[in-house]
Amino acid sequence: MTPLHIETPLLESRTLSRAANRTVWLKMEALQPPGSFKIRGIGHACSHYVRRGARRLISSSGGNAGIAVAYAGRQLQVPVLVVVPETTTERAIDLIRQQGADVQVHGASWQEANELALSMVTDSDAFLHPFDDPLLWQGHGSMIDEVARRGRKPELVILSVGGGGLLCGVLEGLHRNGWSDVPVMAVETSGADSFARSVEAGERIELPAISSIATSLGARRVCEQAFDWTHRHPIRSLVVPDQAAVRACLRFMDDHRVVVEPACGAALAAIYDHADRLEACASVLVIVCGGVTASVAQLQQWATQV
C-alpha cells in the first residue's frame, strides 16, 4: 500500500545556521499534506488497521492527530469519527470536517474525550491513539530513514515533545539506522513540560493542568515508552517560555515563509535563543513538526499577549 505521507525536504537553513554558528538542517514535516508529521505514524497505523478489516477509524484529538486520522480515512475511503474536547478551536474542528470526518465534542479535557472515543469502538472499528502506539512510532521513524538515505548524519537532533510520539519515532528511526550515538534535545514549553518534570523526578509525572498556549504539546503525562527511552539514549531536556515559542514561529515565518504552531516553535526556539546549549555539535537536525491549528493572526495575537 502506498504511504499516505510524502518524503519531505531536508533543507540547510542559512539563517538558522548563522544564528547558531553551526550547520542547521530542517526536516520540513510542516509540508505534509495534513500539515504535520502526524500523518507518518497515523497513516502507517490506519493503513495497517484497514488492511486487517477495520471499517471505521476512531480517534480522540482536538488537533493535528485528529486532522491526520481524518485525512487518512479520506485517502483510504473509510469513515472517521474524531472525538474532541470542548477546548478544541473552531479552526481545528473545521479542518477535521474538511477531510470528511464526523466530529463529536465531549468533555473538558482530552482525557474525557478519549474515554468516550474508546467506549464507542466496536469490533469493526480501529482506535487511533494520538501518540501512544508502536505503529505510530514505526511510521514517524521514516523521517529519519529519509535523512539517512541523504547521508546527512547530524550530531544532534532537536524536536518538540508533547505526549512523546514524535520522540519515540525519531529515536526508533535513529536506532534502526545505526545512529544510536546521536543525542536528542527534547524541547517543551513552560506549562506543558511533563517530560522535563518526569526526567527531573526520575519517574513519570502527571501535570495537574496544561497552562501553555502550545496546546499541541498538552499531554499531562508523556507515554511510558518516551520516559523509558531516557534510560537507553542520550536525551537532553529544554523548557522554553510561551513567548519564545511564539517569537520563534514568527521569525521562522519571515525566514522560511512557512507557518507553524507554537508547539513546533518550541524546537525552533532552541536554535534562535539557546545556541549556547548546543555545545560542540557542528551539525544539527531540527524536526519542523508543523501544525495547522494556529493561524498567522493567532500567532500575532499571542505575540502581544504573552
pLDDT per position as a tens digit, 137-188: 999 999 999 999 999 999 999 999 999 999 999 999 999 999 999 999 999 9
| pLDDT, tens only, 44-90 | 999 999 999 999 999 998 789 999 999 999 999 999 999 998 888 89
Give yes or no for residue 264 having a pLDDT over 90.
Answer: yes
Per-residue confidence (pLDDT) for residue 165, from 0 to 100: 96
Last residue of a domain, one of 131, 152, 181: 131
Residue 1 lies in a domain: no
Same domain, 225 and 185: yes
pTM: predicted TM-score of the whole model, two decimal places: 0.95
Q: What is the mean predicted confidence (pLDDT) over 19-38?
A: 96
Same domain, 78 and 176: no
Per-residue confidence (pLDDT) for residue 210, from 0 to 100: 84
Same domain, 186 and 296: yes
Last residue of a domain, one of 113, 131, 149: 131
Same domain, 84 and 156: no
Same domain, 252 and 289: yes
Same domain, 26 and 154: yes
Q: What is the mean predicted confidence (pLDDT) over 255-266?
A: 96
Last residue of a domain, one of 131, 163, 188: 131
Instruction: Give the total number of structural domains in the chain.
Output: 2
Per-residue confidence (pLDDT) for residue 59, from 0 to 100: 97
Residue 271 lies in a domain: yes
Residue 73 lies in a domain: yes
CB 126 within 8 A of CB 57: yes
Residue 192 lies in a domain: yes
User: What range does the domain containing 202 cover?
Assistant: 10-37+135-305
Same domain, 125 and 183: no
Per-residue confidence (pLDDT) for residue 108, from 0 to 100: 83
Per-residue confidence (pLDDT) for residue 212, from 0 to 100: 85
Per-residue confidence (pLDDT) for residue 189, from 0 to 100: 94
Give yes or no for residue 217 having a pLDDT over 70.
Answer: no
Same domain, 109 and 155: no
- CATH number of the domain residue 238 falls in: 3.40.50.1100
Across all residues in the chain, what is the average pLDDT? Answer: 94
Residue 5 lies in a domain: no
Same domain, 88 and 177: no
